[in-house]
Amino acid sequence: MATITKEYLDKKFVGIDKRFENIDKKFESIDKKFVDLKSHVDTRFDQQNKDLKEHVTREVEKLALMTAKGFDDLQDRLDFKEEIEKLKRDNKMIKQALNLPL
């Protein structure tokens, strides 16, 4: 059976240490990339959220104007008060001209 010596283990651990020497730097680099990505995604999300709110506000305003215009048009079409008053005056004048009872 082979014996493991202290020198053998020291040599192996030095090799392992060299392999993992830059791991912390690599993880820091990866962490920074994730932070940058998160910042980018947050910024884009905030901008899209703002754009969507502005779009919805504009569209709601358009719909409100369309609805108001529609009601105004409908009210104009259904508003016969002036026309009825004119017809009543005309009718009264006709009756007066024909000497009919009012």
Q: Is residue 79, in this structure, part of any structural domain at all?
A: yes
pLDDT in the model for residue 46: 95
Q: How many domains are there within the chain?
A: 1
Q: What is the pLDDT of residue 2?
A: 65
Looking at residue 102, what is its pLDDT? Answer: 66
Structure tokens at 6: 């202290």
Domain assignment of residue 102, yes or no: no
pLDDT exceeds 60 at position 1: no
Let me know if residue 39 belongs to a domain.
Answer: yes
**63-81 mean pLDDT:** 86
Range of the domain at 74: 25-97
**In this structure, is residue 64 part of a structural domain?**
yes
Take residue 54 and report the two structure tokens written for it.
């502005």
In a domain, 92, yes or no: yes
Over residues 2-58, the pLDDT tens digits come to: 677 888 877 777 777 777 777 878 888 898 999 999 999 999 999 999 999 999 999
CB atoms within 10 A of CB 7: 8
Instruction: Give the CA distances from residue 2 to residues 8, 29, 89, 94, in Å, rounded to whole numbers and listed in that order.
Output: 12, 42, 128, 134
Task: For residue 4, tell me if it sits in a domain.
Answer: no
Does any domain span residue 80? yes
The answer to whether position 14 is within a domain reads no
